[in-house]
Amino acid sequence: MDSTNQLLKPVTAKINESGNIEIGGCDLVKLAEKYGTPLYVLDEETIRSVCRDYKNAFKNYPKVNMMYASKALCTMATSKLLFDEGFGFDVVSAGEIYTVYKAGVDMSRVLFNGNNKSFDELTLAIELGVGRISVDNFFELSLLNEIAKSHNKIVDILLRITPGIECHTHEYIQTGHLDSKFGFDLTQVDDAVELILNEYKNLKLHGLHAHIGSQIFETSVYGDEIEILIKEIARLDEKFSLKLDEINIGGGLGVKYTENDCPPSTYTIADIIIKRLDDCIKKYNIEPPALFIEPGRSVISTAGVTLYTVGSSKQVPKGKKYIAVDGGMADNPRPSMYQAKYVAGVANKKEVSSSKTVTIAGRFCESGDILIDGINLPELEEGDILCVYNTGAYNYSMASNYNRVQKPAMILVNNSQSDMLVKRETLEDLISHDEIPGRLKK
């Protein structure tokens, strides 16, 4: 069965009667006029569709907890929307913890993850009642127990392990292979468990956590990961009489950035995960554990587009035709970082048969600031509105103020209505944290 993460465009995307691209019942050209560009646009119907895909796909396993990976995109409004759809949250910083807290999320349904959590972050997590902390290393075990003891609390934890699985994705977004900065190596698990059982009395271990990467198209890796986790739980029970009842398999399911991308559906992944889980439960003779899944990109990416206004152009003699837009690597660093590829359309021009191959260049002072290298588009003119698809994940969350440029606004569209989620930064916002020492004012 197909699922929403396999779509290139939001589910509501279409060409309207004016010949413009429309999403969520809103004309993108009018949105650009109202809110300015660059502009992040999220389609509410697409987000809810993905959430329901996940819930329906996993409904046959009785103990499933969907945990949205907030690093993909974290705002108060998106957190509230996803919580309303039944998702918990995987967070990786004090900022993400505080955002979901202020959005009204039940903090018992939040898991704090990361390889170098600070004293202040762990303290905040305990004080706000975060439900699980996925402990990454020995230093964190000691630090967390110390903070929990000072608060007179027992903290519920998972151990994050490195399962030794490599998936075919960009090396910067692989996380489960042996040579990774994340998690306990399997040879270190026994030492960690002994510390928890014998010394760290303010920590309660519930299960194991692993994550194998991001933008994954392979299906077998999830089954391999489950086998490793269940086998390890059975081994720990045999050695320590330790009844662990939770496994967290992370997320990482891919999305369709270009026509050449063929990500598996959530239903395909669910069938593989549930079948392998059932097989391993019988094979290793353990009680069915609660299953935690952490989709991020596949929940939010397809729902998002970014609007830009076309500016200058340059034809290199016997070379490329560059079309510059009013954004680039500061609002979407992925092409520069990962060589990520995107598809775009012209929001204010009907789809026509004639087109030219152009390169979409950003406005920032870097030769590598290229959003799309080689794309066929209708003839572009200054003032046209370019719509880049599938930008909901890791664009806003990785955005910067490079070249001292303000970050874009973000809006949510649904049923012909648009609402502000994040205001556009102003020039005053840019300097609001600057200070000039008194000695320089003389």
Residue 175 CA, chain-centre distance (Å), reads 14
User: How are beta strands 64-69 and 88-91 bridged, if at all?
Assistant: parallel
Q: Give the helix/strand (H/E) hosting 127.
A: helix 119-127
Distance CA 214, CA 314 (A): 36
- Active site (annotated) includes residue 365: yes
Hey, what are 396's tokens? 């806003």
Q: Which two tokens stand for residue 347?
A: 């929001």
Tell me how far CA of residue 224 lies from CA of 163, 218, 248, 299, in angstroms.
9, 11, 14, 23
Indicate the helix (H) or strand (E) that contains 184. strand 184-185
Helices (H), 71-219: 76-84, 94-102, 119-127, 138-150, 189-198
Q: Crossing angle of helices 76-84/44-57, nearest 10°?
A: 40
Catalytic residue among 51, 167, 280, 365: 365
How many other C-beta atoms can be found within 10 angstroms of the C-beta atom of residue 286? 17
Cis peptide before 333 (omega within 30 of 0): no
Q: What is the rounded CA–CA span in Å between residue 187 and residue 185?
A: 5
Radius of gyration of the chain (CA): 23
**Distance between CA atoms of 259 and 94, rounded to whole angstroms?**
37
- Positive or negative: CA dihedral 348, 352, 358, 359: positive
Contact between residue 244 and residue 198 where contact means Cβ atoms under 8 Å apart: no
Phi, psi of 370 (to 5 degrees): -120, 120
The closest of 115, 109, 130, 105 to 67, measured between CA atoms, is 109
- Asked if residues 184 and 218 have their Cβ atoms less than 8 Å apart, the reply is no
Active site residues: 365
